[in-house]
Structure 1
């Protein structure tokens, strides 16, 4: 019988593996000449008006994501959970940096004048949500964060496509990459914290 720690390890490894595999496999669908893939056609164009799209992308806008990040850090600090507060601050920024400097150049998907895959706005948003969910103790809070994040992804995906910021697969890959990195980095933080306490 697998104990609780072993079960948590299996869940983490599985989640990281699925996220990494999805992030790495989506580029296999990209056309050689660039542009949208067949997967991108799953979210048809012109599903939202440009005005509505501007509203729907708000959850992924940098000022909103940074405000949520700082609020999450403050929440842990108010509860005197200093290690969690620092982890909350560091993990999403590391995930964003890895995406910007490693993943985007690796897959080199051009859209207009920028590298589009994985979506950096999506990586930042999902990394903040995933990190908070990994660090917070309550199951209800985790479920609430997961639900809100999925709803935000459903809103921003067609909006980003409509505004020409990203293809839908950029958002999907960004979400997968962010979840994998945040879970892995939080796991590393837990291990360092346990070692320090020991």
Structure 2
């Protein structure tokens, strides 16, 4: 037990460093925005060329945003939770199912009203679709013990996020900085929530019986 705890100290420190960096980005981005919450110079530099590109008139952007839709992300979340359950780790299965949705709830009810950045008729910062996508991918990568599974999810999630960001900006659903803040907020929340879950009693004894690290 002592060895397990000692080995986990560097990992926890690394995760707290990641969480702190993500939190700093989440807080810093609104400081760069104009007082009315409109487009920043960074937003315009990224969005204006994309709005004039052919893909915004071809229907491609509508397809690009699909990976961020709940009707696709919820089944992915269920499959990820089932993957842990199949490997005999019920604690990680529950954590996988709960943490991303809790991050979405915190973003919706706390972070969005806190910054109050209005776009059209909704609060845009941090981007909720981005939070959902990144939260699911981050939770899996933090909880999985098999390196090949983490690398595969990281690659797929990165491509999905790039596609989604292009589509949301092209369709004027979000400013680029909304997406940056959403990704940073999701990484921060999920890292801290998973750390809290791992701090619960009996986590380490459960983890030792799991085959996920083999």
TM-score range, shorter chain: over 0.9
Structure 1 residues 153-198: Cα deviation after superposition (integer angstroms, max 9, x where no partner): 2111121011121111111110110011111111111111446859
TM-score (normalised: structure 2) = 0.86
**Paired residues, number:** 196
Matched, 1:163 2:168: no
Query: Which consecutive residues of structure 1, in runs of 5 or more, have no partner in the other structure?
Result: none
Matches of 1:32 and 1:66 in 2, distance apart?
36
8 Å contact 1:92–1:124 — kept in the other structure?
A: yes
Aligned counterpart for 1:152 among listed residues 144, 157, 160 = 160
* Matching of residue 68 in structure 1 with residue 71 in structure 2: no
CA deviation digits over 1:86-117, x for unaligned, max 9? Answer: 00111011100100000000000000000000
Q: Which runs of 4+ in 1 moved over 4 A?
A: 195-198
Paired residue for 2:187?
179
- Which of 112, 115, 121 does residue 123 from structure 2 map onto? 115
Whether the aligned pair in 2 keeps the contact of 1:83 and 1:193 (CA below 8 Å) is: no
- Find 1:142's aligned residue among 136, 150, 154: 150
| CA displacement 1:109-154 (0-9 Å, x = unmatched) | 0000000000111101111111111111111211221122221121
What's the CA shift for 1:39? Answer: 1.8
Partners of 2:112 and 2:18 in 1: how far apart? 21
Cα distance between partner residues in 2 of 1:196 and 1:134: 15
The structure with more radius of gyration: 2
- Unaligned runs of 5+ residues in structure 2 are 1-5, 207-214
Compute the TM-score of the two structures, normalised by the length of structure 1: 0.93
Q: Which moved more, 1:112-121 or 1:47-56?
A: 47-56
